Amino acid sequence: MAKRKKQSAKRSGGKSSRAKSTSTRRRSAAPAQQDAIALLKADHRQVEEWFEQFESSRSEGKKQNLAACICQALKVHTQIEEEIFYPAFLEATEEEDIHHEAAVEHDGAKKLIAAIEGSGPSDDYYDARVKVLSEMIKHHVNEEEKRDGMFAKARQSEMDLEALGQTLAARKAELMSGGGMGGEGS
């Protein structure tokens, strides 16, 4: 009889559902761990969303706020890629061409970011600069995320993407809180 009760409890969600809800609670209490590629892709999606909002906005104030968010996010994103992800990628894959193209694309984006930050919506070229930056970033993201791009090659390599994700997240948090911006990567 006791054996039937245990089996019935398991089927009805007794012991196993309690364990499941506890592990779910534990997971939701701590920040979600992302591997390096998932973290970088999440950054890409966020910036894409802000670019879309910028395109559809008619308010100069909203455009300025969105451009500031885009520029800040891209400065942090490029810095963590250049400091952490790109060197690890190059070491693991020896894919110099992919690495060098990404670095050159970053340099172009940084120049546009500086021009956007140095102007405002009243500048005749403000919207055009943000539009061109959007197009540059779309190209760059496509290069990183395509089937044989940087992220695919990173996944095929021996890179520890989980540990790298933790390092990227920590550095990103530090930069977002104001610490560490202003070096060569910005």
Q: What's the start-to-end Cα distance of the chain, in Å?
A: 70
Q: Judge if 1 and 70 occupy the same domain.
A: no
The model's confidence at residue 15, banded by pLDDT at 50, 70 and 90, is very low
Examine residue 181 and state whether it is found in any structural domain, yes or no. no
Helix or strand or coil: residue 34? coil
Q: Judge if 121 and 61 occupy the same domain.
A: yes
Q: Judge if 6 and 61 occupy the same domain.
A: no
The pTM of the full predicted model, rounded to 2 decimals, is 0.78
Tokens read off for 171: 């550095």
pLDDT score recorded for residue 33: 77
Q: Judge if 64 and 104 occupy the same domain.
A: yes
The dihedral through the CA atoms of 136, 77, 108, 70 has a sign that is: positive
- Structural contact between residues 145 and 44, judged by C-beta atoms closer than 8 angstroms: yes
Q: Judge if 26 and 36 occupy the same domain.
A: no
Q: Judge if 25 and 40 occupy the same domain.
A: no
Sequence length of the chain is 186
Domain enclosing residue 21, as ranges: 1-30
Examine residue 182 and state whether it is found in any structural domain, yes or no. no
- Structural contact between residues 70 and 62, judged by C-beta atoms closer than 8 angstroms: no
- pLDDT tens column, 70-92: 999 999 999 999 999 999 999 99
pLDDT score recorded for residue 20: 36
Tokens read off for 137: 């970033």
Assess whether pLDDT exceeds 80 at residue 158.
Answer: yes
Q: Judge if 171 and 84 occupy the same domain.
A: yes
Per-chain mean pLDDT for the chain: 85
Helix axes 36-56, 126-145, angle to 10 degrees: 150
pLDDT score recorded for residue 185: 38
* Mean pLDDT of all residues in 175-181: 77
Which of 1-10, 28-37, 144-153 bottoms out in mean pLDDT, i.e. has the lowest?
A: 1-10
pLDDT score recorded for residue 180: 61
- pLDDT tens column, 106-139: 999 999 999 999 999 999 999 999 999 999 999 9
Q: Judge if 36 and 89 occupy the same domain.
A: yes
- pLDDT tens column, 164-177: 999 999 999 999 98
Q: Judge if 49 and 102 occupy the same domain.
A: yes
Quote the CA–CA distance of 27 and 24 in Å, as a whole number. 5
Task: Indicate the number of domains in the chain.
Answer: 2
Examine residue 139 and state whether it is found in any structural domain, yes or no. yes
